[in-house]
Structure 1
């Protein structure tokens, strides 16, 4: 059985003299519709939140429960969003970095070190460590992955009220067969990423 995230990286960074560590992750990079969302989370070491993990490995119900617990127990949470029109202008990689920077900028207090999911180079002037698969290894990044995922899923459910033909409540904007079929029948909406394969 795969072991869940720990505080290994957080403790490593604290031992180097840093004091405020934020975990950072994004969701929605591979979607055809909706924004890319990033979250940055600062957790106290004694947060007591059980079950933190990569959001993709959790059931929707478990994610929702943890989302509430993270909001209760976190020192600070920041959310960053970049809309489809901007994604089309600057590309998804740049948009992900902009969303992460917005999320980090929204933190009070500001962190002095970042643990970032993936292999992205420096996002801000704040020192950072990028960890591939970090949402399954670091509790701070796992918390950020859950916050970003639940926030974005709820947003896509709201979009579904405006655009029910795409079934965004079910596919969350990802390129599922039903979503691709709906694009063929109804064409693109204002929340679709027009430069993405499957949309253009």
Structure 2
């Protein structure tokens, strides 16, 4: 990871474009932002997106913010604008089986590397949301709360969130009975009750304790019924 460029004036008046403007003034563009959706879910994929915005501020992207702070309708509208006007963007999908095999944190970091590598342009600098990402081909900086602090990360968060939500809605049709379209694979009371009733699906992350505990509980219940 490279240090923040020296003598780079950061003008807070630039809002979410502050980091990108400072890096461009140092000749370090294009600037890519990278973020994920689904890290905290216990079912479905992890989706990691990268995005490079054009240096000019577009009115159509004025509402950019952390995707979690936006309504579903606003996210969908911004997704259309970001994917249309961005200089480059990519989305990488890591399924539940790979998450179980390598672990969520490794999957997250690997997804960030893949997403940046999949961009149609080579970034001069990468801003990541919160995590140091070793192995990138460009210098990078982790930004705490980056999806609410840097426009390119906010754009990546919207791409990742909308892409994943669409996957979960489609999954709900393929695996009825889990209500994936409602909770999107997160550990809500509704979701846990569906696992208790039907058992985990192939899309559940078996390495997660709350899922694994329900497998053990279900097995014990079956044993008790057989021996009772």
Structure 1 CA distance for aligned equivalents of residues 207 and 32 of structure 2: 32
Question: Relative to 1, partners in 2 of residues 1:5 and 1:149: Cα closer, same or farther, differing over 3 Å?
Answer: farther
Which range is displaced more, 9-18 or 20-29? 9-18
> Which residue of the partner structure matches residue 165 of structure 1?
177
| 1:19 paired residue among 19, 25, 29 | 29
Moved over 3 A (4+): none
Whether the aligned pair in 2 keeps the contact of 1:40 and 1:104 (CA below 8 Å) is yes
> Which residue of the partner structure matches residue 185 of structure 1?
197
Which range is displaced more, 153-162 or 119-128? 119-128
Tell me the matched-pair count.
198
| 1:76 paired residue among 55, 68, 88 | 88
Deviation at 1:119, TM superposition (A): 2.8
Deviation at 1:149, TM superposition (A): 0.2
Higher relative contact order (CA 8 A, sep 6+): 1
TM-score, normalization by structure 1:
0.95
> Which residue of the partner structure matches residue 126 of structure 1?
138
| 2:115 paired residue among 96, 103, 107 | 103
Secondary structure of the corresponding residue to residue 32 of structure 2: strand
| Two-structure CA RMSD over aligned residues (Å) | 1.5
| 2:55 paired residue among 35, 45, 63 | 45
Whether the aligned pair in 2 keeps the contact of 1:41 and 1:76 (CA below 8 Å) is yes
- 2:9 corresponds to 1:8: no
Whether the aligned pair in 2 keeps the contact of 1:4 and 1:136 (CA below 8 Å) is no
Deviation at 1:121, TM superposition (A): 3.8
> Which residue of the partner structure matches residue 174 of structure 1?
186
Larger gyration radius, structure 1 or structure 2: 2
TM-score, normalization by structure 2:
0.84
Structure 2 CA distance for aligned equivalents of residues 188 and 120 of structure 1: 33
Whether the aligned pair in 2 keeps the contact of 1:35 and 1:84 (CA below 8 Å) is yes
Structure 1 CA distance for aligned equivalents of residues 93 and 109 of structure 2: 10
Secondary structure of the corresponding residue to residue 209 of structure 2: coil
